[in-house]
Structure 1
Amino acid sequence: MKRLAFLLVAVLIGTTVAMAQNRGGQRQFDPEEMAKRQTEQFKTELELNDTQAEKMEKVLLKSYNEMTTLRQEMTGEEDRTKMREKMTEWRANQQKELKKILTDEQFAKYEKLMEERRANRRGRPGGGRQ
């Protein structure tokens, strides 16, 4: 009986450690990597020229750095309304900066792409918490 209990505890600990290390196959990106990756995607999807792509990468990098700071500040914060307000303000600032770079047609396409991505995230576990 002691052997069985020990074996069960060992299996549970091993499983917990394995899951903590794997994190479901998710990979965390640093802001620079995210900005580069997103810019490359948008360069193709929105048909950005080199100048637009360069400016967009700078805006995205600044924006992602701000997001990282916001997330650190909000860790453990219980007031979801306050969090939502900060996130809404962050998103509005990002869009205002991108609107300066993109043509009206590109910005409309950007908004459509972002809405599609948000809709896709809502369908996944852990995504689209509102």
Structure 2
Amino acid sequence: MKLTGILLFVLLVVSQISYAQSEQGQRMSQEQRNEMMAKNLGLDDAQKAKFEKINAKYQEKTSGFREKMRSATDEERRELFAEMREIRNAQNKEIKEILTDEQKQKFDQMQKEREQRWQNRGNGERRGGNPRNGDVRPGK
């Protein structure tokens, strides 16, 4: 009986950990990101419509990047990151054109925080190359 209780407890703990990790790792949809940004920036209805249109335009441009990254060599990955950065900068420029000065300041702060999170993900460790292709970042 005692063993059954311990096993049930362990099973409960493991299931809770698994559930928490799956919830944490889920990505927001584009609609959820748009809503969050609209709320955080205080966009009015006209701004929100323009914001969604801009994001849809750039989502089309970047839709294949994630798949390309999976099979890319380190050199190809650097080129893809550079191309993605240019696209993201153009998108941010268009977004800023529809914002008030106060909203631009909030947007810039949000972008800085996003960049910090990106740099600090995984306790500061960046993903390596694709080991299936023999690509590994130096020091790994």
TM-score range, shorter chain: 0.5 to 0.7
Structure 2 equivalent of residue 64 of structure 1: 59
Structure 2: gaps spanning 5 or more residues: 1-18, 128-140
What percent identity do the matched residue pairs reach?
A: 30
Partner secondary structure for residue 75 of structure 1? helix
Cα shift readout 1:88-124 (whole Å, capped 9, x = no counterpart):
1111111121122112321221011121122134333
Q: How many residues align?
A: 105
TM-score with structure 1 setting the length: 0.65
Of 65, 88, 92, which aligns to 1:91?
88
| Structure 1 alignment gaps of length 5 or more | 1-21
Give the partner amino acid of 1:43: A
The alpha-carbon deviation at position 56 of structure 1 amounts to 0.6
Q: CA deviation at 1:45?
A: 1.4
The residue aligned with 1:5 is: none
Q: Which runs of 4+ in 1 moved over 6 A?
A: none
Q: Deviations over 1:23-71 (max 9, x none)?
A: x412245xxx32x212211222111110001111121122223222222
Counterparts of 1:128 and 1:45, CA distance in 2: 29
Give 1:83 shift.
1.8
Superposed, 1:1-130 pairs within 5 Å as 24-25=21-22, 26-29=25-28, 33-34=29-30, 36-78=31-73, 79=75, 80-125=77-122, 129=126
Structure of greater relative contact order (alpha carbons < 8 Å, 6+ residues apart): 2
CA distance in 2, matches of 1:72, 1:84: 13
How far apart, CA to CA, are the structure 2 residues paired with 1:96 and 1:114? 12
Aligned alpha-carbon RMSD (Å): 2.7
TM-score (norm 2): 0.61
Shift of 1:85: 1.2
